[in-house]
Amino acid sequence: MENQQKVINMMVMFKQMLQEQCEMSEITTVVQWLVQRNGKFNGKDISRYLRYYKVEMLRYGISERLQVISFNRVATDELQQSIHGIQQQNPMWGSFEEALREAYDYERLKGQGPNEFEQRVASTMIHQSATQAFLDFECRFLQLPE
């Protein structure tokens, strides 16, 4: 009887392992397709990228937990560390998506004048080192509409 239970437990674990491998294979397919079609996420136009990302992940039935984990694979090398930090703080898709939008949603800056830009940058740079403040400024400046 005890051996039967061990065999059943091993079969259940084997089935779970196969399901995870299948999901990882599907994730790889989706990630490759997204990168081919839209390129890697470079920090710009987060709304559009998330829209495509969510549609494809739902189409393949990828769980929200794996959606969060795999988003790092569609980001450029420069953004992966930043996104990894967001993933650690927000393991659920809803909070992760919100944190991504907050971090990379520069679309809301359209129509923002020079004075508003200067105030926003100055208020965030007060407690930063000079290097970090410059990098933050450069990132935000490059995201402004032309």
The answer to whether the CB of 137 falls within 8 A of the CB of 126 is no
Cα(34)–Cα(12) distance, integer angstroms:
33
Partners of 75 in beta bridges? 41
- Per-residue pLDDT tens digits for 85-122: 899 998 899 999 998 888 887 655 555 566 666 766 66
pLDDT of residue 2 exceeding 70, the answer is yes
pLDDT of residue 41 exceeding 60, the answer is yes
Task: Specify the pTM.
Answer: 0.60
What pLDDT sits at residue 126? 61
